[in-house]
Amino acid sequence: MISSLQDRPASIEATSVQLDYPVGSLVRGSIKAELFSLFGAKDRAPKVDFVRALNTISFKVESGERVGVIGKNGSGKSTLLRAIAGIYPITGGVIEVYGRIQGMFDISLGFEPEATGRENILYRGLVMGLSPAEVRARQDEIIEFADIGEFVDLPVRTYSSGMSVRLAFAISTYMRGDILLLDEMLSAGDAGFVAKAQERMKNLLSSAKIVVLVSHDMGTIKNVCPRTIWLDSGRVMMDGPTDEVVAAYLSKFVPAA
Amino acid sequence: MRLGTYRSYDVGDSTLAGRFQELAQYRHLLMNFVASDLRARYRRSYLGMIWAVLYPLVFSAIIALVAIRIFQQPAETYVTYLITGFVVWDLIGAAISGGTMSFLVGEGYMRQYRLPYIIYPLRTVSSLAVNSAFTSIAAVVAIVFLTPQSISFYWLYWPLVMLMLYLFAIPLAVLAGLANVRFRDFQHAAGLAVFLLWYLSPTIVIREVYDSPGLKPFTDLNPFASALDIFRAIMTERAHPTLHDVALVVGATIVLWILALLALKVEGRKLIFYL
């Protein structure tokens, strides 16, 4: 089934997507509270069971498109990316994705602290669905790009935070997927590395078949994405050409002169 | 909680066969995770995995020195009794206590990638199983030197029995892990529960105690006791495991797998939000 679909162009289709984020048991969430509630003890915390993070969202992204997602904090942008990646389960509607997803969020998470940089490159590659041979083929390039010297053979827990970020960046950007999901443009390290990183990001953006970029930086959105979706309280406020959507979004906050 | 539909055509479909196919793609990852866990467990130690053999030998010798005076057991058979108990408990008992953290330690991956959730408890139990396999060497060493009369062709059952214990341990880790993500109190309670279970199963106290009138009904229904009996039957007693023991462990394994898969299906929808 998988092989027969490989030639199909990459696409994302979201239809009436809803995502309720459960918070009820985060408010209560202990055996003590559950037991006390059996004996009639009332929770003092307000009874909120879920927050609707995405509300009947529909859109379609075809191969070749670069789509920006904007909105104020808490509007559901990052949640939408993670729902497309299949990390957050949706509670209503349908998301259909064709193509290998490359999600780039929280890239510094998930290192094995006791394992060396070299081993972590292998683990991260395997997590991304590559075979050990595929990871080995890319390993030297990743190490060279990360530029962490002999530290690559030391446990990651010995790294400075800058080195961890550089390694995470080098690994995450070397793996190529069809659909690139980005939560803010990535940058890392000192001035020399930033220039290299920007060049790498540019290549990554041009090689992906689909890019969905969440950002608060309207300049970046305008540079990268011809199309933009504006989210507010989990709903699509506007979906169209970036210039129009960004102008409408900004006009909500900046009073006309 | 209501459900939406997520279909990604890059991974397997949502049938059980599709799930297995998806999991099989990550076999290299699982093997490397296990190697990483074992390296971390014995990090910076000169003897490394030799500790998996040495520790139970020395531990059992210490306990035996004291206990043979209380239970008046022949030292040789008691040492092999202890070590075989060690091998089994280090897998099935530790699957519960270690399993509690299995999803929490995978948080970094879970927040970034869509891996089958079962891979996290599988990682925990697989690491324990490899360690237990090494601990089995300690059992063999003890038997060869102390009770060579126990050496038999029944040892050929060892891989099968280890597989049985492994399959029994996996759903225990899944359930413990899910419970702990939901209720963080669970890890503390589980520690005590495993301790109680350890006492209620023939790991260290001599087997006859568990056949006393007060304990026998419980022992007969305790799959942990049966797992220990099965391992000792083939390793030290030159005997086939009893049908009762095998049926109890297999039955418990099936029930636990059903519960674990159901819990994973239901709780899996919310798991990421509880991390």
Ranges of each domain in chain B: 26-274
Q: Please, which residues have CB within 8 angstroms of residue B181's CB and are 6 or more apart in sequence? A: B103, B104, B267, B271, B274, B275
The answer to whether residue B35 scores a pLDDT higher than 80 is: yes
CA distance A31 to chain B (A): 6
* CB contact A199 to B (< 8 Å): no
Q: Name the residue in chain B with its Cα closest to that of A126.
A: B29
Of B39, B108, B189, the CB nearest to A110: B108
pLDDT confidence of residue A3: 44
pLDDT band at A12 (very low <50, low <70, confident <90, very high): very high
Q: Please, which residues have CB within 8 angstroms of residue B203's CB and are 6 or more apart in sequence? A: B85, B86, B88, B89, B93, B228
What does the alpha-carbon distance between residue A116 and residue A61 come to, in Å, rounded to a whole number? 39
User: Mean of the pLDDT values across residues A59-86?
Assistant: 94
pLDDT band at A82 (very low <50, low <70, confident <90, very high): very high
pLDDT confidence of residue A25: 56
| Cα-based distances in Å from B251 to A62, B92, B94, B99 | 50, 15, 20, 21
- The three-class DSSP label of residue A74 is coil
The verdict on a CB contact (< 8 Å) between A106 and B108 is yes
The verdict on a CB contact (< 8 Å) between A114 and B39 is yes
The verdict on a CB contact (< 8 Å) between B268 and A34 is no
pLDDT band at A30 (very low <50, low <70, confident <90, very high): low
The answer to whether residue A226 scores a pLDDT higher than 90 is: yes
pLDDT band at A4 (very low <50, low <70, confident <90, very high): very low
* CB contact A122 to B (< 8 Å): yes
Of A89, A99, A128, the CB nearest to B113: A128
Query: Which residues of A fall within a CB distance of 8 Å from B270?
Result: 22, 89
The verdict on a CB contact (< 8 Å) between B5 and A93 is yes
pLDDT confidence of residue A37: 67
Residue pLDDT, tens place only, B109-137: 998 888 899 999 999 999 999 999 999 99
The verdict on a CB contact (< 8 Å) between A94 and B273 is no
Higher confidence at residue B102 or residue B16? B102
The verdict on a CB contact (< 8 Å) between B36 and A114 is yes
pLDDT band at B36 (very low <50, low <70, confident <90, very high): confident
| Cα-based distances in Å from A172 to A114, A180, B44 | 20, 11, 29
Q: What percentage of chain A exceeds 70 in pLDDT? A: 85
Q: What percentage of chain B exceeds 90 in pLDDT? A: 60
Higher confidence at residue B270 or residue A59? A59
pLDDT confidence of residue B154: 96
On whether the pTM is more than 0.90, the answer is no
The answer to whether residue B42 scores a pLDDT higher than 60 is: yes
What does the alpha-carbon distance between residue A230 and residue A211 come to, in Å, rounded to a whole number? 16
pLDDT confidence of residue B206: 85
pLDDT confidence of residue A76: 93
pLDDT confidence of residue A172: 87
The answer to whether residue A209 scores a pLDDT higher than 60 is: yes
Residue pLDDT, tens place only, B224-268: 999 999 999 999 999 999 999 999 999 999 999 999 999 999 988
DSSP-derived secondary structure for A89-145: PPSEEEEEEES-EEEESSTTTT--TTSBHHHHHHHHHHHTT--HHHHHHHHHHHHHH
CA distance B141 to chain A (A): 31
The answer to whether residue A1 scores a pLDDT higher than 50 is: no
Interface of A with B in 13-32 (CB under 8 A): 17-22, 25-26, 29-32
Q: Name the residue in chain B with its Cα closest to that of A132.
A: B28
- The three-class DSSP label of residue B257 is helix
pLDDT confidence of residue A152: 93
The answer to whether residue B12 scores a pLDDT higher than 60 is: no
pLDDT confidence of residue B22: 81
The answer to whether residue B11 scores a pLDDT higher than 90 is: no
Higher confidence at residue A40 or residue A240? A240
Which stretches of B2-106 are DSSP H helices? 16-25, 27-41, 50-71, 75-99, 102-105
CA distance A7 to chain B (A): 12
Higher confidence at residue B166 or residue A169? B166
Q: What percentage of chain B exceeds 70 in pLDDT? A: 97
* CB contact A134 to B (< 8 Å): no
Which stretches of chain B are DSSP H helices? 16-25, 27-41, 50-71, 75-99, 102-105, 107-110, 119-146, 158-182, 186-200, 216-221, 223-235, 243-267, 271-274
Among A27, A63, A114, pick the best mutation site for testing chain B contact (most B Cβ within 10 A): A114
What does the alpha-carbon distance between residue A2 and residue A23 come to, in Å, rounded to a whole number? 36
Q: Which of B101, B248, B124 is nearest to B186 (CA)?
A: B101
User: Mean of the pLDDT values across residues A89-101?
Assistant: 92
- A31-45, B179-193, B226-240: which range is least confident on average? A31-45
The answer to whether residue B10 scores a pLDDT higher than 90 is: no
The verdict on a CB contact (< 8 Å) between B112 and A106 is yes
The answer to whether residue B170 scores a pLDDT higher than 60 is: yes
pLDDT confidence of residue A199: 87
pLDDT confidence of residue A2: 44
Domains of chain A (ranges, CATH numbers): 3-99+215-253 (3.40.50.300), 117-208 (no CATH)
Q: Name the residue in chain A with its Cα closest to that of B105.
A: A110
The verdict on a CB contact (< 8 Å) between A106 and B39 is no
Of A18, A19, A85, the CB nearest to B114: A85
pLDDT band at A24 (very low <50, low <70, confident <90, very high): low
Query: Which residues of B fall within a CB distance of 8 Å from A26?
Result: 273-274
Residue pLDDT, tens place only, B101-111: 999 999 989 98
Q: Name the residue in chain A with its Cα closest to that of B275.
A: A26
pLDDT confidence of residue A142: 92
The answer to whether residue A48 scores a pLDDT higher than 70 is: no
Query: Which residues of B fall within a CB distance of 8 Å from A126?
Result: 26, 28-29, 32
pLDDT confidence of residue A128: 82
The answer to whether residue A257 scores a pLDDT higher than 80 is: no
Residue A182 host element (H or E): strand A179-183
- A36-50, A66-80, A134-148, B158-172: which range is least confident on average? A36-50
Residue pLDDT, tens place only, A110-143: 788 888 999 999 998 888 888 899 899 989 999 9
Q: List the beta bridge partners of residue A102.
A: A180
Residue B5 host element (H or E): strand B5-8
The verdict on a CB contact (< 8 Å) between B273 and A21 is yes
Query: Which residues of A fall within a CB distance of 8 Å from B115?
Result: 127
Query: Which residues of A fall within a CB distance of 8 Å from B112?
Result: 87, 103, 105-107, 109-110, 127
Mean pLDDT comparison of A94-98, B8-12, B15-19, highest-scoring range: A94-98
The answer to whether residue A41 scores a pLDDT higher than 90 is: no
Task: Enter the tokens of residue B85.
Answer: 């108990």
